[in-house]
Structure 1
Amino acid sequence: MVAFAACGAEPGHTITNTVGMKLATIPAGTFTMGSPKTEPDRIANETQRQVTFKQGFRIGVTEVTQKQWQQVMGSNPSFSKGDDLPVEHITWDEAAEFCQRLSQKEQKRYRLPTEAEWEYACRAGTKTAYYTGRDRAALDIAGWYRGNSVNQSHPVGRKKPNPWGLYDMHGNVSEWCVKRPAA
């Protein structure tokens, strides 16, 4: 996923860049970041806090595909190959470099989303563990995860999108956020 400022675009509006990436406008708003103590699979020391976005932003509608990565980076590091599969086996540094190169190519500032932006976009106005509700069994319609993926990635955008039109927010491959991971 990549993000950049929406500059006043209407929520729900999408644009497509020259490498075929669709980006959706996420509206300004406030949400509770983090999981309540009662949420399944929550991290033990996770706390909740209110986060407000005073302006909207854009985020990729799908995970970055291998075809898109190849067009920007000139190589494909993925183990499982396929143009419409998400790029995988990339480091945080490689993801950040992708954003820099994409910014140069598009003449717009692309970057990794913050953790708050990613969670806000994932929840899409919902207040439950998953945008499909509280029931983990409902995840089958929304994403690929350990229970239904047969331990492999799948083509992007094949499951039900969240209310803001984003796909694979609950599965397929993991996404990097702007905060560099601890060494």
Structure 2
Amino acid sequence: MGTPQTKLDFRYRKERVLRFVEDPNGLGLEMMLVSGGEFWMGSPEEEPGRSMGEGPQHEVQVRAFLLGRYPVTQSQWRFVVERVPQIAVKLDSNPSGFEGKDRPVEKVKWYEAIEFCARLSQLMGVVYRLPSEAEWEYACRAGTTTPFHFGKTISSDVANYDATKVYGQGEVGKRQGETTSVGYFDAANNFGLSDMHGNVWEWCADPWHKNYQGAPGSGHVWDGKLDSGVYEIIESSLSELLADNRKRVTRGGSWFTPPRYCRSAFRTRIVPDFGFDYQGFRVARSAPRT
């Protein structure tokens, strides 16, 4: 399962990637090195399904960082929640609607995601955080400029989305109607990241901006109200972040959404105290020094 259909111009290939397995007593967190570089963030005006919020395209310089190979799973969520005491937000050890230890945790609010990052940081002794929106798109694209890191279209053979709808020259496929286990599709991108398109929407750190007018050229969180440093060390910044009710960016589409919403450039927002059965996240941290 998961073999790309060459007739649909998929451009999936496996390259050598650097993986860090962080596994105290069975956590099983796999972090992939996302090498630094430049990319054009957003979509070109001619891209099918483009929304106004995806422009103007602008060049962004991203520093190397680590990003979870998969969205945080239910077993990883439970592992951390049951071992690290509450810091500021009470967390349900089993919030998900579609249960399965290897499925992504969902129904997670933004406030809960940053609490999880703070607890994970305590457990591991290393600072974890949500990725910035620029980091997320850069990692998703993995050097590609097409609508999906697979290529010009998407198939239910490689991603979990509402495949009753088609994109470009794609074909109608199988609709799962629920989440799938992370890595269910053998279709990682060139950074070794899986499930970047579909399965669950993924929280980013950034507050919502309706477009990229005035967006910075760095991969840092674009805020304008709070200093970007508050997103780097979540544990010491929780009180500020929890007092902020601005909508937050979410990326990647989900099992519930049509393919145009799963594009690398597509972006939307949700209020930070809402959690749905199509909303999850993955964690990031700074790259280790070499």
TM-score (norm 1): 0.88
User: What residue identity is the alignment partner of 1:105?
Assistant: L
Aligned counterpart in structure 2 of residue 63 of structure 1, from 58, 71, 76: 71
Which ranges of structure 1 fall in alignment gaps of 5 or more residues?
Answer: 1-10
1:52 to 49, 61, 76: 61
Alpha-carbon shift at residue 43 of structure 1 (Å): 1.7
SS at match of 2:20: strand
In the alignment, is the contact (CA less than 8 A) between 1:86 and 1:156 conserved in 2? yes
- Which amino acid in the other structure matches residue 192 of structure 2? G
Equivalent residue pairs, number: 170
1:122 and 2:140 equivalent? yes
Determine whether 1:12 maps to 2:17. yes
- Counterpart of 1:98 in 2: which secondary structure? helix
* Aligned counterpart in structure 2 of residue 169 of structure 1, from 189, 196, 202: 196
**1:51 and 1:172 mapped to 2: Cα distance?**
27
SS at match of 1:177: strand
1:152 aligns with 2:152: no
One-letter amino acid of the counterpart of residue 201, structure 2:
S
Indicate if the aligned counterparts of 2:32 and 2:67 stay in contact, CA closer than 8 A. yes
Distance 2:196 2:68 in 1: 11
Aligned residue runs from structure 1 range 77-88, under 5 A:
77-88=95-106
2:111 maps to: 93
> How far, CA to CA, are the matches of 1:149 and 1:157 in structure 2?
17
Identity score, percent = 43
* Structure showing greater relative contact order (alpha-carbon pairs closer than 8 Å, 6 or more residues apart): 2
The 3-state SS of whatever aligns with 2:67 is strand
Structure 1 or 2, whichever has the larger Rg, is 2
Cα distance in 2 for partners of 1:44, 1:178 equals 21
CA offset digits 1:116-153 (Å, max 9, x no partner): 00000000000100011112xx3334311111443200
